[in-house]
Amino acid sequence: MNQLIKLSRSTVERYISCPRCCVLEKIYDIRPPSLPFTLNIAVDNLCKNEFDYYREREEPHPLFNKNNIDAIPFKHSEIDNWRNNYKGIKYYSTKYQYTFRGAIDDVWQKSNGELIIVDFKATSRNNFNWTETWNKYDYPKSYKRQLEMYQWLFKMNGFKVTNEAYIIYFNGKKNEKFFHNKLEFDAHVVKLNCSTEWVEQKILETVDLLRSKTFPGPSHKCENCNYLKKRWNLIKNT
């Protein structure tokens, strides 16, 4: 029997962006240094507290009415586990011997019973324009994949999940005249039409790579690998 491979949503995303970094991180426990996004975490927690207020009352959040979203925050005994980075929602494949998990930000329920997967993001831009951001950068596509992987997890756990998903972007106002020890935000609701058809294939590719004991080449788009390559070439030529 194959050894059980434990995957998180971020592991599969790492494989998609750079198989080499995926192997370095998962097999060798080597990863680039990172800084704690404490302000983002604070915004995330405050958002969850606010949506929990309406969850307990089984009422729609004011953003729902403003954006014609027919839903209420989903009330479920596992909601705190699903939102816990160390637990999340999980799926175990007995056929392929892997576990896959991810921690959501929120989940809403439509009037027909289908679930909507939601992610909170915090940013600060002079002019927030999702279409421009989507067309210009790669990272919004990873946000969409993130939601699709969460959708797949809920489906595999027996829930009915709609294709629509939402990113709630909280854009910090950085040009106010006074601070007054308070950072204010505008909320932008981004609706995405998602598909989970690709998810399991990428999970299986990640599993196969990690079992193969091969060391793949770097992705030409990987910032970390490109940085190390340029640094090494500079050192080698001096």
How many angstroms separate the CA atoms of 129 and 73, rounded? 26
Q: What is the CATH number of the domain that holds 75?
A: 3.90.320
> First vs last Cα of the chain: how many Å apart?
50
User: Residue-wise pLDDT tens for the chain (238 aa)?
Assistant: 689 999 999 999 999 999 999 999 999 999 988 877 788 889 999 999 999 999 999 999 999 999 999 999 999 999 999 999 999 999 999 999 999 999 999 999 999 999 999 999 999 988 999 999 999 999 999 999 999 999 999 999 999 999 999 999 999 999 888 998 988 999 999 999 999 999 999 999 999 999 998 999 999 999 999 999 999 999 888 7
pTM, 2 dp: 0.95
Burial 81-92 (b: 16+ CB within 10 A, else e): ebbeeeebbbbe
How many angstroms separate the CA atoms of 238 and 236, rounded? 6
Task: Kindly write down the DSSP assignment for every residue of 30-71, as one continuous string.
Answer: --------HHHHHHHHHHHHHHHHHHHHT---HHHHHTT--E
Name the nearest CA neighbour of 172 among 131, 130, 132, 122: 122
How many angstroms separate the CA atoms of 49 and 52, rounded? 5
Total domain count, the chain = 1
How many angstroms separate the CA atoms of 13 and 138, rounded? 13
User: Structural domain of residue 214, as residue ranges?
Assistant: 5-236
